[in-house]
Amino acid sequence: DCTCPSYGSVLQRAIKTAWLALDEMDSQWTPVHHSWRLNERNYGDLQGRSKAACIEQYGLKQVQKWRRGYSERPPPWADATRLATVDRRYDAPMRKGADGDGFPSHSESLRDCEQRLLPFLQGELTAAMESAVARAHATADTSGCEYEVPTVLVVASEHVLRGLVMQLEGLSEEEVPLVDVPYAVPLVYQLDSALVPIPTPWADKPLRAGWFLGDPAKVRAAKAEMQAELSPPSGEDSCLVSWTGHEGVVEREWRC
């Protein structure tokens, strides 16, 4: 019997989402490990402001660069605001200097978010998955039966998941802005024994291996709602360009 851990950030919504997911799967007993590296991206001075207010002040194209682009950081927090966000959840990274990451950050681009995630992905998460695969193989060898595929749950926020997907799929800086992460919809990856994602026809571009679990119509509606939030009014300059392609399929491209 393989007990696979679950992972989540130290933020309240992610913690509660992990509880709900494990309860639904009748796996409440599964250990949950929390890491600040899975926290949502820090938007700096934009934190807590609505998209509409940011677009009104900075323009749609600039907000698109901050929200979907790879390397642009939003305006930073003031030092007083930055340090006021730190509580006892962050005692350990504050003491260690977060391995030189300058914790807490003044603001983060997606690149910063991805780099913050890497030590967790390449260390703790990979080690847990390798251990789960080894235990499953050992169980199969001793019992002579097929083993149950280990399942690892990661609960995190939109931009951290976008960074995780970028690593798993090997997406380019031009592809990752096209990844929509609908809220509260599981994104599933099947990995081979070497922990390489297995391509699937269920994936929507630019993904090749991950697919969203749920009613396809509801998933499409959730994605459309997210896309509409950053869609330009007629004639306004935009980084996200879309058009109707072959057989009526809507194609999108990042041009910034």
Annotated binding site for substrate: 13, 40-43, 51, 67-68
- HEC profile of the chain: CCCCCEEECCCHHHHHHHHHHHHHCCCCCCCEEECHHHCCCCCHHHCCCCHHHHHHHHCHHHHHHHHHCCCCCCCCCCHHHHHHCCCHHHHHHHHHHHHHCCCCCCCCCHHHHHHHHHHHHHHHHHHHHHHHHHHHHHHHHHHCCCCCCCCCEEECCHHHHHHHHHHHHCCCCCCHHHCCCCCCCCEECCECCCCCECCCCCCCCCCCCCEECCCHHHHHHHHHHHHHHCCCCCCCCCCEEEEECHHHCEEEEECC
Cα–Cα–Cα angle for 163, 201, 213, nearest 5°? 60
| Rounded Cα–Cα distance for residues 188 and 4 (Å) | 16
Q: Residue 5 in contact with residue 30, Cβ under 8 Å?
A: yes
